Chain A
């Protein structure tokens, strides 16, 4: 049975080694998602995060101090500014040519909306920190929001209550809210 007295503490160097190893495994599993399926990658990511959280709790050295937080804050502001600037430049370059390649419009819209979202989240985080909300509270709220978005997405996009194409006929799966599709059903393809 594991308890604090008989589990070995980790040094910062050991923790960084474990982090690199876990990141490599996660990266490898995500790269194979097309072959193994996305759920295996999600499982690997979840297990990896649990391993890192446990490893971090066993570290006796200081991993992050006030200088890291100060420099990190300045670096985050610079990164947000750089990302926003690059997004604007790419938008001005690609948007005029969107009719030649529709993918350009997708890139521009993705970059601009993501830059807006990033600045919005930064503003919210700054406001909450200014009010004294602790980073851990923000972290748990983020986990909760991510879980809600994920579950909502899975529920809406999983085709749980929808029409499925089977043997050339549209058949109900559950209780679809939309009417039967008008396009021809071609054996599920």
Chain B
């Protein structure tokens, strides 16, 4: 599943380490999320969206 995590993170000058800390996950998980190699749970998607000051449907690109 594609997403805009890296785009929004870099726009807000947040490092992967910081995003991981604020989302209460490991940095490796943020790396996997940005690469689209891991589909987060609803809670994690919400937490990441909240840190990046956006919503889930704007952050993640759901294919039809």
**A: which residues have CB within 8 A of B?**
12, 61-68
The CA-CA distance from A172 to B22 in the complex, in Å, is: 68
| Size bracket of the B interface | 10 to 19
In chain B, what residue has the closest Cβ to A67? Answer: B29
The CA-CA distance from A17 to B56 in the complex, in Å, is: 37
The CA-CA distance from A65 to B21 in the complex, in Å, is: 11
Collect the chain A residues with CB atoms within 8 Å of residue B25's CB: 62, 65-67
A-B contacts, 13 listed (Cβ < 8 Å): A12-B26, A61-B26, A62-B21, A62-B26, A63-B26, A64-B26, A65-B24, A66-B43, A66-B44, A67-B25, A67-B29, A67-B32, A67-B38
Collect the chain B residues with CB atoms within 8 Å of residue A61's CB: 21, 26
Collect the chain A residues with CB atoms within 8 Å of residue B38's CB: 67
Collect the chain A residues with CB atoms within 8 Å of residue B52's CB: none
**B: which residues have CB within 8 A of A?**
20-21, 24-26, 28-29, 32, 38, 40-41, 43-44
Query: Min CB distance, B4 to chain A, in Å?
Result: 19
The CA-CA distance from A24 to B25 in the complex, in Å, is: 28
Additional A-B contacts beyond A65-B29, A66-B41 (20; CB < 8 A): A12-B26, A61-B21, A61-B26, A62-B20, A62-B21, A62-B24, A62-B25, A62-B26, A63-B26, A64-B26, A65-B24, A65-B25, A66-B25, A66-B29, A66-B40, A66-B43, A66-B44, A67-B26, A67-B28, A67-B29
